[in-house]
Amino acid sequence: MRWLLVALIVVAKFGIPVLIVPFPFAAGWANFVLDTVDGDLLIPLGLDDDAYQPIDKAADWATYVGMAIAARRWHIRRAVWALFAMRSVGQLLFFLTGAEIVFFFFPNFLEPLFLIYATIRHFKKERVAEVYVRHRTAIWVFVVAYKLQDEWVTHVGNIDRTDLVTSLFT
């Protein structure tokens, strides 16, 4: 039964990115939630960390491809494509070296920028570019600050977020 749950989660990790193209808001956020909890599900279900990491990183790259395709007609498409290229270099270096620290030097600014823009697009359909331009400084400050701390905690400090949050309340 555990292998079936593992298989379903892994299929979802590769299936949801495909849905990002037609449904950038819903699938983008669904992917974010799944990517946040997948390790906490898959590892206790018996998937070894050595098997989890390549699966997770390959699914992440599938997500980035979906985001780059979905953004092909967006106002921010050049930024999305540049961030896709930058993170792809990090992904390639990780697969070649196995060194997680490369993710700190090639941070995933793509995902938070994409999610913010997809959210604006979802709620402000006609004025998405205008809203983005008006708030772009705040958006980029958030994206950079959020992702740098996230990359540090996840890939340099290797701090488990569940333990981190739990320690704040005990």
Q: CA angle at residue 16 from 90 to 138, to 5 degrees? A: 60
- pLDDT category at 113 given cuts 50, 70, 90 is very high
Domain count, the chain: 1
Instruction: Write the burial class of residue 111 (CB in 10 Å: 0-12 exposed, 13-18 middle, 19+ buried).
Output: buried
Q: Give the DSSP letter of residue 150.
A: H
**What pLDDT, on a 0 to 100 scale, did the predictor assign at position 161?**
67
**Dihedral sign from CA coordinates of 12, 161, 147, 94:** negative
- Tokens 């007609």 found at: 73
**What pLDDT, on a 0 to 100 scale, did the predictor assign at position 158?**
74
> 143 near 112, Cβ under 8 Å?
yes
Give residue-wise pLDDT tens across range 1-34: 688 888 888 899 999 999 999 999 999 999 999 9
Q: First vs last Cα of the chain: how many Å apart?
A: 34
Give residue-wise pLDDT tens across range 119-132: 999 998 889 999 99
Q: What is the mean pLDDT of the chain?
A: 91
pLDDT at 40 over 90: no
**What pLDDT, on a 0 to 100 scale, did the predictor assign at position 84?**
98
* pTM recorded for the entire structure: 0.89
143 vs 136: CA distance, rounded Å? 10
- State which residues form the domain around 162: 2-168
